[in-house]
Amino acid sequence: MQLKTLFLGLGWLSVCWAQLADTTDYPIGPLTSSSTKWAKKVCDITDYGAVADGATDSGPAILAAFNACSSGGVVNIPLGTFALATWVTLNGGSAWAINLEGIIVRTGTAGGNMIYIEHSTDFEIYSSRGEGAMQGYGYQFHEQGEYGPRLLRLYDVTNFAIHDIALVDSPAFHLTLDTCNQGEVYNLIIRGGNEGGLDGIDLWGFDIWVHDVEVTNKDECVTVKSPANHILVENVYCNWSGGCAMGSLGTNTDISKVVYQNIYTVNSNQMFMFKSNGGNGTVTEVTLENFIGHENAYSLYIDAYWSSETLAAGDGVLYNSITFKDWTGTCLNGAQRPPLYVLCPSTQPCTNIIIEDFAMWTESGSTEYYKCADAWGSGYCLKAGSAHTEYGTVTSTVTSAPSGYSATTMPGQLTAGLGLTTSIAIPTVPNTFFPGATPATARVYGS
């Protein structure tokens, strides 16, 4: 989809589009329409040996169909259940798509990536009826305390879209975009087990627009890693997850121009967390706006001493020009864990952090506190001025609910994490991902 068109249609988003690079030079999404691809050539995997019996390995058939359609066309995975016993690497290709109408279920047990797409351009993976899914049956590993393969990974892919599919119960990460550019991810639901190591979406690259996504797991919801720039993430529902984040960040961190907005987070570790431990380089020009949270352990959180990460060489990542605006809702226990927690490197204090209209209240007890350390900027416990020197820790206690904290809840919130020992059902892609927001791009089918 050409961003120009979107820009004209959604004028109010223009501020955010500015976060994406010049869209004339860098159009986002596939360059060729799916109808043109369908008209050019269709390579149906059942013509290459796949059988919809949930048992025959469809790996070789997917590869053969890709080889036949990689210079233009659609690899069609029709309705039905297709087993994947051996993993596929789809290398190269342009002006092509995968139409995932049916369901791919994991039957193999190797590590790695079930579907790995690399060095490709003008690519789309979607379900034209919005019902396609990858079912990883991760619980078969998790119940033994193990991890298995990741579901879907793109590496060095340009001008792409991933949409209207469900990624379910990955034995490890669900979707990784490694060094990918000019892509769009939308109308997507991820359902993983209730433990760490089952990341939803991890991405790095430039000019990426992620919107209208729901994630359940107990780790990354939608997370940006380094290097990355010109990233827009909006209308995200972390429906029992770890929460969205940036990191973990180490040496030579290089992240700029990132916007997250309309992010609803329930029952997660945090609403947004920057995580590093030592390291160097910069995170700059980031805006985190219009966040709603309930029942989360942490809410607004910068942790430059993140203990789950091995200490990296350097004085610390420089966090500069980061704006948090319009955060509402509640946190689990604000006297135990501060809903506003900005912990910067003492050897590299944060600069120009702006916190505005932060109104979050605690769900238990009647006080909460804010905590800042070595953090310069404006708002709450941040220190104003231009000295930018180390100052240690400052806390402030809040003894009454901030006005305007009350925030709506999403329908159908989870009340427990999903299974590690039983199969997770394939959900339908929902029609809303943030209270009151409808998907920016209409569902392909039905809705």
Q: Considering only 167-175, 242-250, 407-415, 436-444, which stretch makes contact with ligand NAG by CB under 6 A? A: 407-415
Of the pair 216, 299, the CB lying nearest ligand NAG is at: 216
Q: Least distance in Å: CB of 442 to ligand NAG?
A: 18
Contact 173, 199 (CB under 8 A): yes
**Nearest CA-CA partner of 399 in 439, 436, 362:** 362
Q: Contact region for ligand NAG (CB under 6 A) — 51-59, 77-85, 160-168, 408-416?
A: 408-416
In this chain, which of 33, 251, 389, 393 binds ligand NAG, going by CB under 6 A? 251
Q: Does 414 contact ligand NAG by CB under 6 A?
A: yes
Buried b / exposed e over 78-93, threshold 16 CB at 10 Å, is eebbbbbbebbebbeb
Q: Indicate the residue among 252 and 351 with the shorter CB distance to ligand NAG.
A: 252
- The only residue of 270, 280, 290, 348 in contact with ligand NAG, by rule CB under 6 A: 280
Q: List the one residue from 134, 410, 420, 429 that touches ligand NAG (CB under 6 A).
A: 410
Told to check if 439 binds ligand NAG by CB under 6 A, we report no
The answer to whether 294 is a known catalytic residue is yes
Name which of 20 and 318 has its Cβ closer to ligand NAG: 318
Q: Pattern of binders to ligand NAG over 205-244, x per CB under 6 A?
A: ---------x-x----------------------x-----
How many whole angstroms separate alpha carbon 215 and alpha carbon 35? 29
Which candidate in 122, 219, 303, 374 is catalytic?
219
DSSP state of 310: P
Which span sits near ligand NAG by CB under 6 A: 15-23, 219-227, 348-356, 406-414?
406-414
> Which of 306/433 has CB closer to ligand NAG?
433
23 sits near ligand NAG (criterion: CB under 6 A):
no
Judged by CB under 6 A, the residue of 197, 200, 329, 430 near ligand NAG is: 430
CB-nearest residue to ligand NAG: 412
Nearer Cβ to ligand NAG (314/439): 314
Find all residues with CB under 8 Å of 269, minimum gap 6, and list them.
218, 242, 243, 296, 297, 298
Please state, as a whole number, how many other Cβ atoms lie within 10 Å of the Cβ of residue 254.
14
- Per-residue tokens: 445: 């089918």
Q: Which is closer to ligand NAG, CB of 281 or CB of 345? A: 281
**Residue 423 binds ligand NAG (CB under 6 A):** no
Give the catalytic positions in this structure: 219, 294
Residues that bind ligand NAG in the complex, under the rule CB under 6 A: 214, 216, 239, 251-252, 280-281, 313-314, 410-414, 430
